[in-house]
Structure 1
Amino acid sequence: MNNSHDCFHCGEPNPSGTNFTVNIKDEDKQMCCPGCQAVAQTIVDSGLTSYYDHRSETAEKGSTLVPEQLNQLAHYDIEQIQEEFVKQDADFNEITLTVEGITCAACAWLIEKQLRQLVGLQFINVNTTLHRVVIRWQKDTLKLSRILTEIQKVGYKAYPFQVSQQEALYTQQAKAYLRRLGLAGLVTMQVMMFAIALYSDFFSGMEEEFIHYFRWVSFILATPVLLYSAQPFYINAWRNLRNRTLGMDIPVSIALLGAYCASAYATIMGTGEVYFEAISMFTFLLLLGRLLELRARRKASETSSNLLRLLPSMATLIEQDKASLIPAKTLKVGQVILVKAGETIPIDGTILTGISHIEESMLTGEHLPVHKKKNSPVFAGTVNITSPLTIEVTKLPQNSLISDIIHLQDSAQLNKPRIEVVADLVSRYFVGALLITALCTYIGWYFIDPSQAFWITLSVLVATCPCALSLATPTALTCATAQLNKQGILIKQHHVLETLNKINHMVFDKTGTLTHGNFVLLNTSVYSDFSKQMCIDLASQLEKVSEHPISLAFHQQQKESVQLTDVINQPGQGLQASYHGKALKLGHAQFCKIDKTIKSKELVIYLTLADKLIATFELGDTLRESAKIIIQYCRDNNIKTTLLTGDISAKSEEVAEILKIDNVIKGITPEGKLQQLQTLQQSQHVLMVGDGINDAPVLAGAHVSVALASGTDIAKNSADVILLGEDLNKLSILRDTAQKTTLIIKENLGWAIGYNLIIVPLAITGHVPPYIAVIGMSFSSLIVVSNSLRLLK
Structure 2
Amino acid sequence: MSLRCFHCAEPVPAGSQFHTIIDGVSQPMCCPGCAAVADAILAAGLSDYYRYRTEPGAKQDLPSEIASLAAYDLQEVQHEFIANSQQGGKPRLEVLLSIDGISCAACAWLIEKHLHRLAGVRIDVNTTTQRALLSWPEHDYKLSQLLTEIASIGYRAAPFQLDSQEQENAKQSQKLLLRVGLAGLATMQVMMLAVALYTGYFHDLESHYRDFIRWVSLLFATPVVLYSAQPFYFSATRALLGGRINMDLPVSIAILLAYGASVKATWLGVGEVYFESVSMFTFFLLLGRLAEQRARRKASEHASNRQKLIPLTARLISADGEQQIAASGLSCDHVIRVLPGERIPADGVIIAGQSDINEAMLTGEQQPVPRNVGDTLYAGTINLQQPLQLKVTAVGAAMRVNTIVRLQEAAAASKPEIAKLADRIANYFVPALLLLALATYLFWHFYQPEQAFWVTLSVLVATCPCALALATPAALTCGTAKMTEHGLLVRSARVLETLPKLTSLLFDKTGTLTEGQFTLTTVEPLATLDNHTVLSIAAALEAHSSHPYAQAFRPYAQPQWRASDNQNHLGQGISGSIDGKRYRIGTGQFCGASSEDGIYLADDQQLLARFVLADKLRVDAKHTIGQLSPHYHCAMLSGDPNPQAVMLAQELGLEDAHFGLSPEQKLAQMQQLQQRGQRVAMFGDGVNDAPVLAGADLSVAMGQGTDLAQCSADLILLGSRLAPVLTGITIAKQTHRIIRQNLTLSLCYNAAVVPLAVCGLVPPYLAAAGMSLSSLAVLGNSLRLLKDKT
> How far did residue 383 of structure 1 move?
1.7
Cα distance change, pair 166–610 in 1 and its aligned pair in 2 (3 A): closer
Report the Cα distance in structure 1 between the residues aligned to 2:178 and 2:412, rounded to whole angstroms. 34
1:677 aligns with 2:670: yes
Mapped contact 1:260–1:279 kept (Cα < 8 A): yes
**Is the partner of 2:471 in helix, strand or coil?**
helix
Cα distance change, pair 437–514 in 1 and its aligned pair in 2 (3 A): same
1:690 aligns with 2:690: no
Match of 1:192 in 2: 191
> How far did residue 400 of structure 1 move?
0.8
Aligned residue identity for 1:348? D
Mapped contact 1:409–1:492 kept (Cα < 8 A): yes
> How far did residue 651 of structure 1 move?
0.9
Cα distance change, pair 478–561 in 1 and its aligned pair in 2 (3 A): farther
Aligned residue identity for 2:689? D
Match of 1:773 in 2: 767
1:756 aligns with 2:757: no
Match of 2:503 in 1: 504
- Out of 627, 630, 650, the residue aligned to residue 633 of structure 1 is 627
Report the Cα distance in structure 2 between the residues aligned to 1:204 and 1:158, rounded to whole angstroms. 63
Report the Cα distance in structure 2 between the residues aligned to 1:776 and 1:101, rounded to whole angstroms. 33
> How far did residue 539 of structure 1 move?
2.5
Match of 2:785 in 1: 791
- Out of 650, 657, 660, the residue aligned to residue 643 of structure 2 is 650
> How far did residue 96 of structure 1 move?
4.6
**504-513 or 566-575, which deviates more:** 566-575
Aligned residue identity for 1:277? E
Match of 2:723 in 1: 729
**Following superposition of structure 1 onto structure 2, how do residues 707-718 of structure 1 map, counting pairs within 5 Å?**
707-710=701-704, 713=707, 717-718=711-712
> How far did residue 770 of structure 1 move?
0.9
**Following superposition of structure 1 onto structure 2, how do residues 100-111 of structure 1 map, counting pairs within 5 Å?**
none
Report the Cα distance in structure 1 between the residues aligned to 2:621 and 2:147, rounded to whole angstroms. 47
Cα distance change, pair 76–476 in 1 and its aligned pair in 2 (3 A): farther
Mapped contact 1:508–1:690 kept (Cα < 8 A): yes
Report the Cα distance in structure 2 between the residues aligned to 1:91 and 1:556, rounded to whole angstroms. 32
1:450 aligns with 2:446: no
Match of 1:373 in 2: 372
1:744 aligns with 2:745: no
CA deviation profile, 1:716-735 (whole Å, cap 9, x unmatched): 63433222222112222222
Report the Cα distance in structure 2 between the residues aligned to 1:167 and 1:372, rounded to whole angstroms. 34
Report the Cα distance in structure 2 between the residues aligned to 1:273 and 1:100, rounded to whole angstroms. 42
Mapped contact 1:300–1:475 kept (Cα < 8 A): no
> How far did residue 404 of structure 1 move?
0.7
> How far did residue 456 of structure 1 move?
0.9
Match of 2:23 in 1: none
**242-251 or 137-146, which deviates more:** 137-146
Aligned residue identity for 1:728? L
Mapped contact 1:290–1:778 kept (Cα < 8 A): no
**Following superposition of structure 1 onto structure 2, how do residues 188-587 of structure 1 map, counting pairs within 5 Å?**
188-201=187-200, 204=203, 207-240=206-239, 245-428=244-427, 430-557=429-556, 561-578=560-577, 582-587=581-586
**219-228 or 341-350, which deviates more:** 219-228
Q: TM-score, normalised by structure 2?
A: 0.81
Cα distance change, pair 264–77 in 1 and its aligned pair in 2 (3 A): farther
> How far did residue 401 of structure 1 move?
0.5
Match of 1:79 in 2: 72
> How far did residue 655 of structure 1 move?
0.7
Aligned residue identity for 1:420? A
Match of 1:95 in 2: 96
1:621 aligns with 2:620: no
Cα distance change, pair 80–646 in 1 and its aligned pair in 2 (3 A): closer
Report the Cα distance in structure 2 between the residues aligned to 1:465 and 1:86, rounded to whole angstroms. 44
Match of 1:55 in 2: none
> How far did residue 93 of structure 1 move?
5.1
Report the Cα distance in structure 1 between the residues aligned to 2:300 and 2:689, rounded to whole angstroms. 34
Give the unaligned 5+ runs of structure 1: 1-37, 39-65
Cα distance change, pair 99–301 in 1 and its aligned pair in 2 (3 A): farther
Mapped contact 1:503–1:685 kept (Cα < 8 A): yes
**Is the partner of 2:96 in helix, strand or coil?**
strand
Mapped contact 1:100–1:158 kept (Cα < 8 A): no
Cα distance change, pair 558–144 in 1 and its aligned pair in 2 (3 A): closer
Aligned residue identity for 2:191? M
CA deviation profile, 1:283-316 (whole Å, cap 9, x unmatched): 3222222222222221122112112211223334
Cα distance change, pair 757–577 in 1 and its aligned pair in 2 (3 A): same
**Is the partner of 2:114 in helix, strand or coil?**
coil
> How far did residue 483 of structure 1 move?
1.7
CA deviation profile, 1:153-205 (whole Å, cap 9, x unmatched): xxxx9876433234323433333344343343333333333322432347625
1:120 aligns with 2:121: no
> How far did residue 774 of structure 1 move?
0.8
> How far did residue 149 of structure 1 move?
7.7
CA deviation profile, 1:232-258 (whole Å, cap 9, x unmatched): 444444555566654433333332232
Match of 2:599 in 1: 605
**275-284 or 116-125, which deviates more:** 116-125
Report the Cα distance in structure 1 between the residues aligned to 2:770 and 2:332, rounded to whole angstroms. 56
Mapped contact 2:211–2:269 kept (Cα < 8 A): yes
Mapped contact 2:515–2:617 kept (Cα < 8 A): yes
**Is the partner of 1:661 in helix, strand or coil?**
coil
Mapped contact 2:102–2:108 kept (Cα < 8 A): no
Aligned residue identity for 1:631? I
Report the Cα distance in structure 1 between the residues aligned to 2:725 and 2:246, rounded to whole angstroms. 40
> How far did residue 137 of structure 1 move?
7.1
Report the Cα distance in structure 1 between the residues aligned to 2:93 and 2:463, rounded to whole angstroms. 43
Report the Cα distance in structure 1 between the residues aligned to 2:146 and 2:580, rounded to whole angstroms. 55
CA deviation profile, 1:641-689 (whole Å, cap 9, x unmatched): 2222233333122112211211121222223222222223222222112
Mapped contact 2:350–2:373 kept (Cα < 8 A): yes
**Is the partner of 2:598 in helix, strand or coil?**
strand
Give the unaligned 5+ runs of structure 2: 1-32, 34-58, 86-90
Report the Cα distance in structure 2 between the residues aligned to 1:398 and 1:789, rounded to whole angstroms. 31
Report the Cα distance in structure 2 between the residues aligned to 1:262 and 1:693, rounded to whole angstroms. 65
Mapped contact 2:347–2:378 kept (Cα < 8 A): yes
Report the Cα distance in structure 1 between the residues aligned to 2:60 and 2:157, rounded to whole angstroms. 22
CA deviation profile, 1:703-755 (whole Å, cap 9, x unmatched): 22222223883996343322222211222222222222223223333333333
CA deviation profile, 1:27-63 (whole Å, cap 9, x unmatched): xxxxxxxxxxx9xxxxxxxxxxxxxxxxxxxxxxxxx
**Is the partner of 2:546 in helix, strand or coil?**
coil
Aligned residue identity for 2:663? P
CA deviation profile, 1:600-629 (whole Å, cap 9, x unmatched): xxx523333444334333333332222212
Cα distance change, pair 460–350 in 1 and its aligned pair in 2 (3 A): same
Mapped contact 2:512–2:702 kept (Cα < 8 A): yes
Mapped contact 1:380–1:402 kept (Cα < 8 A): yes
Mapped contact 2:236–2:249 kept (Cα < 8 A): yes
Report the Cα distance in structure 1 between the residues aligned to 2:276 and 2:731, rounded to whole angstroms. 46
> How far did residue 406 of structure 1 move?
0.7
> How far did residue 128 of structure 1 move?
7.4
**Is the partner of 1:394 in helix, strand or coil?**
strand
Aligned residue identity for 1:283? T
Aligned residues: 714
Cα distance change, pair 609–149 in 1 and its aligned pair in 2 (3 A): closer
Report the Cα distance in structure 2 between the residues aligned to 1:436 and 1:782, rounded to whole angstroms. 26
